[in-house]
Structure 1
Amino acid sequence: EDCSDATAILALQGPKAKDVLTSVLGEGAHVGRFRWSPLEGSALSISGYIQGTGYTGEAGYEILVPNDDAAPLWRALIAEGATPVGLGARDTLRLEKGFLLSGVDFLWPSLASSEDDGFLARDSWESNVPFGWGFEHDHPGAAKMRSHQDGDARWWGVRYLEKGPLPRPGKPVTSMDGAPLGQLTSGAPAPSLDNAGIGIGYLAGVSEGDEVLVQASPRKAVKAVVVRPPFV
């Protein structure tokens, strides 16, 4: 049975997530990282599931409950000290951690070459994401990964070295003498780095520590350094 339309999900994230959770739903609601458990006998008599996951780089939980239970749970979490935030906050946190976002940093048709359907426009080889797949045996996507094995474009991070317009998706990255290197797929100010601009993207011909230019606006190229995420 598909219960998607009848189910709400609340993400409780941050260093105080466990304290807030146990205050609202009791000690039995806690689950470890990447673990899950049904919500049974909770202090609010709420049913559903809880899992030790999230996409902020922080410790925390994702809580799945029937729609009718979402508002009471929301109010209870806020009463215990949780602060509502939007997707912009989630995006800066996941970017500081170097997490790729589906539909933005991969599985994005505009990243695909002309002969590609865009479904895996950037595969795990290019993204430096170790899924444990080797090249010595066949598996779904193996041929595509092998075709990129000798390619130069790889996933890198850049961190601003000076002030300027913020890095944004699609902004070109060049060498210091203007040679094209690639483009950013994500970018934002980093609150943990005094709001310095950070971004991730697919760059060719670079190494960690190289200085590059982010073409952040038609009139301003901002000096940045190539880094291997996470940024913090």
Structure 2
Amino acid sequence: MTAAKTSTSTSTVGTVTETVPTPAGEARVTWHRAPRARAVLALGHGAGGGIEARDLRALAAALPGRGVTVALVEQPWRVAGKKVAPAPKTLDVAWTALWPALTAPGLPVVAGGRSAGARVACRTGRELGAAAVLALAFPLHPPGKPERSRVEELLAAGVPTLVVQGSRDPFGRPEEFPPSGESADPPLRLVPVDHGDHGFAVPKTAGISQEEALAVITEAVAEWLEETLG
């Protein structure tokens, strides 16, 4: 696969923003670089929001200090200012086209994202040669319709996979997922976030603060990356 030509501009301190042309339009990658990176974690956003999601921002803030560069990827539809995401096939085409930009640092790349972004990572992970897949708030089924399960899509990732799921997520609660186990081939691990909804927001009456909920996510992902990538 040939890398697309890209244009790069410096954004806020500590980050670099890169525009990448794809068949679906221009995508945008915001790099949060680790001083001595050993891997890249590429994270796509969901269908209802962008890279400002609390879980994506928390990981971008926490992981560079632990040797992982985080690349927050904005799909072309979001860059263009559209409010409705295109069909899954179009999302996959754009993600595939920008993949060479993610591998350019010459490091192992873990594909991931939240919600629709997690689905993209699962559908393309094996084909693109991702080292692993991180699925944040994976939409196992539409709310109230458990019979429309996407479990096969999740299991088809073909590489070690970590699912981080809020216990109140209407798109699939942790107990609805396949059993977590390192003996699976490839390994599948699930980390629940108590009281978290689809956006990992926790109510003020919960026995856990929003900061503590986000810390559960960042710590779990950091430990999993360490174990998975060695």
TM-score, normalization by structure 1: 0.24
Structure in which a larger fraction of residues adopt helix: 2
Structure in which a larger fraction of residues adopt strand: 1
Structure number with greater Rg is 1
